Amino acid sequence: MEKAVYPLMIIGGGPAGLSASIYSCRYGIKTLLLAPLGGGLASSADKIENYPGFPEEISGMELVNKMKEQAEKFGLEMAYAQVQKVEREGGIFSVFAEDNYYSRALIIATGAEPNRLGVPGEDALRGRGVSYCATCDGPFFKGKSVIVVGGGDSALQEALYLAQITRQVTLVHRREQFRGAAYLVDKIMAAPNISLRLSSVIAEIKGRERVEGAIIKNLKTGKEEFLPADGIFIYVGIKPNSDLVKELVRLDQNGAIITDEMMRTSQEGIFACGDVRATPLRQIVTACADGAIAATSAYHYLNPEK
């Protein structure tokens, strides 16, 4: 039996993939979107208040569902599948999941996962005080006390951002020295409402309905103490979900897919958008913009005469 080949296949059902599908379907491209159940990291957000057009806030799941409904209105085909591998033979991409799928062009929108601390209470309180994005969730903690975990540039930058809107920031880092840029360290040391807990780790996150604080362990003395806090922001790295195409496209040192400004990867016919690509900002609004650009590039790849 001859295999069915889609002009375009999108892997990933979060804002980047759904935005790409809205644009590709409006271009008239027969598009199949493959994704597991859920809508990426965005769907787990309890409240989103920085996405344009929703001044009264909206939950991540509701926003993703609206995008999905809009894409299906334009003719998107969807299949819930956990993609395991992608290969290319000639001008056709083979996508292996529970079933096998084939396409002439591919958009990778598989997102990224923040590295976890792996401590008790982290998963149970995620979205209820445990956050991996200060830009997204910081304003919910205005005038409150928060903990930031990490010692690299991201942790230092977000601690400085949170210090502008919260009452108190406690920065917890497992080493004696920060790994971030010297100018950021200088700003941290000068901030009046940032306190440091160096050579220390979070041993447990406490709270019933929401975060109430954390058990901090000093790695030198072994002493543990409870530190009250309303929120905990974790910055111990991220892992882009790029394993599917790591043999096909160029990745940076963190495993993110390298693209140009048109979302083109090093492999002709493969485009990437959203958190899986190397990008300076990981937000829903930028993921959507990436998706629109990726779909436009895919359209011109499939229709070189236009």
**137 catalytic residue (yes or no):** yes
Contact 275, 41 (CB under 8 A): yes
Please name the residues in contact with 72: beta carbons below 8 A apart, sequence gap of 6 or more: 78
Distance (Å, whole) CA 32 – CA 19: 13
Task: Respond yes or no: is residue 133 known to be catalytic.
Answer: yes
Domain spanning 116-234, CATH architecture: 3-Layer(bba) Sandwich (3.50)
Question: If we measure between CA atoms, which residue out of 184, 190, 143 comes closest to residue 162?
Answer: 143
Domain definitions of the chain by residue range = 5-113+238-302, 116-234
Domains 5-113+238-302 and 116-234 are alike in CATH topology: yes
Assess whether 136 carries a catalytic annotation.
Answer: yes
| Active-site residue (options: 136, 275, 288, 290) | 136
Give pLDDT, residue 1.
46
Catalytic residue among 137, 230, 275, 290: 137
Q: What pLDDT is stored for residue 165 in this prediction?
A: 94
Q: What is the pTM of this model?
A: 0.76
Taking only the tens of pLDDT, the chain with its 306 residues reads 457 899 999 999 999 999 999 999 999 999 999 998 766 677 766 677 788 998 888 888 899 999 999 999 999 999 998 898 999 988 999 999 888 999 999 999 999 988 899 999 999 999 899 998 887 788 899 999 999 999 988 889 889 999 999 999 999 999 999 988 899 999 999 999 999 999 999 999 999 999 999 999 999 999 999 999 999 999 998 899 999 999 999 999 999 999 999 999 999 999 999 999 999 888 899 999 999 999 999 999 999 987
Instruction: Answer for the pair 111, 276: CB distance below 8 angstroms, yes or no.
Output: yes
Q: What is the pLDDT of residue 137?
A: 87
pLDDT at 65: 92
CA distance 195 to 197: 7
Say what the pLDDT of residue 124 is. Answer: 94
- Three-state SS across 94-135? EEECCCEEEEEEEEECCCEEECCCCCCCCCCCECCCEECCHH
Q: Could you give the C-alpha distances from 46 to 128, 133, 230, 242, in angstroms and in order? A: 8, 13, 16, 26
pLDDT at 57: 81
Choice among 25, 99, 123, 133 that is catalytic: 133
- The CATH superfamily holding the domain 5-113+238-302 is FAD/NAD(P)-binding domain (3.50.50.60)
